[in-house]
């Protein structure tokens, strides 16, 4: 697995590579717009050029990049105003990623507010079809992230993601698996037998070929809690040892795995520590 982290872009998009250097990250996830606001400033040509140039110069070959879509986006809602705004925002996320040369945009599909889950899944798939059509021949991919299952969120099971992919029917789509969300949704991937079952089920329902990225997070909550609360790698309910199977799995050798772990107790980022711990698990 190609180990990386969600790096800050404070001070400019290119600063993500400075932070990656500090953390010894070989893959970067970032925000291309605010995660908590609908409004987004247009990308400036100079900022785009600097980001692309820094990406090219950072390492050879160029490292994998992903953007995480805004948390405000809800493609599963029955509220038409929020749905249309969310669809437009997701299209903008994808266009910004394409402009910056970012490979993937990872998204939580949303919550089935004002409707049942099957309807929410259908509405999300309709939005993905519309966005994919508008993107035309652009190369950026959309990755549906497995969610923790809080409230009425959709995408918290392999079955639901498979249904969205089937209804979308687009080659542009893929999947991102979050280790904490798997655990929180009740999928125990942490034992030898559980690990095998998890990826056997994924391959049977969705197809391993559709798996394009991981989020690598420990959990502050118990198995099946349906609560999205990340912990520093090796310091939560999952613990360090189960991650050894992931980082050594030859099926995932070319996939990026991004840390999204909270700061350490002293306020420092936990990414450098987490990446060091994950690399210590690699087979020699």
User: Phi then psi for 165, rounded to 5 degrees?
Assistant: -65, -40
Annotated catalytic, 46?
no
Catalytic entry in 181, 212, 235, 245: 181
Catalytic entry in 141, 215, 235, 245: 215
Annotated catalytic, 103?
no
Residue position matching structure tokens 């805004």: 70
Annotated catalytic, 104?
no
Catalytic entry in 103, 178, 218, 235: 178
Task: Quote the pLDDT of residue 60.
Answer: 86
Q: How confident is the model at residue 284 (pLDDT cuts 50, 70, 90)?
A: low
Helices (runs of H) and strands (runs of E) counted in the chain:
9, 10
pTM of the predicted model over 0.85: yes
Alpha helices in the chain, H assignment, sequence order: 15-23, 45-58, 80-100, 117-135, 158-168, 179-184, 192-205, 243-247, 271-279
Catalytic entry in 7, 103, 228, 269: 228
Residue position matching structure tokens 């942490």: 190
Mean pLDDT of 234-258: 98
Annotated catalytic, 178?
yes
User: Phi then psi for 4, rounded to 5 degrees?
Assistant: -150, -160
Annotated catalytic, 36?
yes
Annotated catalytic, 14?
no
Annotated catalytic, 6?
no
Q: Which domains does the chain have, with CATH numbers?
A: 2-279 (3.20.20.150)
Catalytic entry in 108, 122, 141, 212: 108
Mean pLDDT of 114-122: 98
| CA dist., res. 195 & res. 212, Å (int) | 18
Annotated catalytic, 26?
no
What are the tens digits of pLDDT across the range 121-159? 999 999 999 999 999 999 999 999 999 999 999 999 999
Annotated catalytic, 58?
no
């Amino acid at each position: 697995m190609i180990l990386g982290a969600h790096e800050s872009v404070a001070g400019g998009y290119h600063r993500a590579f400075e932070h990656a250097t500090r953390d010894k990250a070989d893959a970067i996830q970032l925000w291309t717009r605010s995660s908590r606001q609908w409004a987004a400033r247009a990308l400036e040509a100079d900022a785009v050029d600097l980001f692309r140039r820094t990406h090219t110069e950072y390492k050879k070959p160029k490292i994998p990049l992903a953007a995480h879509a805004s948390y405000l986006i809800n493609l599963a809602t029955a509220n038409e105003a929020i749905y249309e705004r969310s669809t437009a925002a997701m299209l903008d996320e994808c266009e910004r990623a394409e402009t910056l040369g970012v490979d993937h945009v990872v998204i939580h599909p949303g919550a089935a507010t004002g409707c049942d889950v099957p309807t929410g899944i259908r509405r999300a798939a309709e939005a993905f079809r519309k966005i994919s059509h508008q993107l035309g021949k652009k190369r950026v991919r959309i990755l549906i992230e497995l969610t923790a299952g809080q409230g009425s969120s959709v995408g918290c099971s392999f079955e639901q993601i498979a249904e969205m992919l089937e209804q979308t029917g687009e080659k542009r789509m893929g999947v991102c698996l979050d280790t904490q969300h798997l655990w929180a949704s009740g999928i125990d991937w942490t034992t030898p037998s559980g690990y095998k079952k998890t990826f056997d089920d994924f391959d049977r329902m969705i197809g391993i070929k559709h798996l394009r990225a991981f989020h690598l997070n420990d959990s502050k909550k118990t198995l099946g809690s349906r609560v999205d609360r990340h912990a520093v790698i090796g310091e939560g309910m999952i613990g360090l040892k189960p991650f050894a199977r992931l980082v050594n799995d030859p099926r995932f050798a070319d996939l990026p795995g991004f840390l999204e772990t909270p700061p350490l107790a002293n306020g420092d980022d936990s990414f450098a520590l987490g990446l060091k711990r994950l690399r210590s698990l690699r087979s020699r």
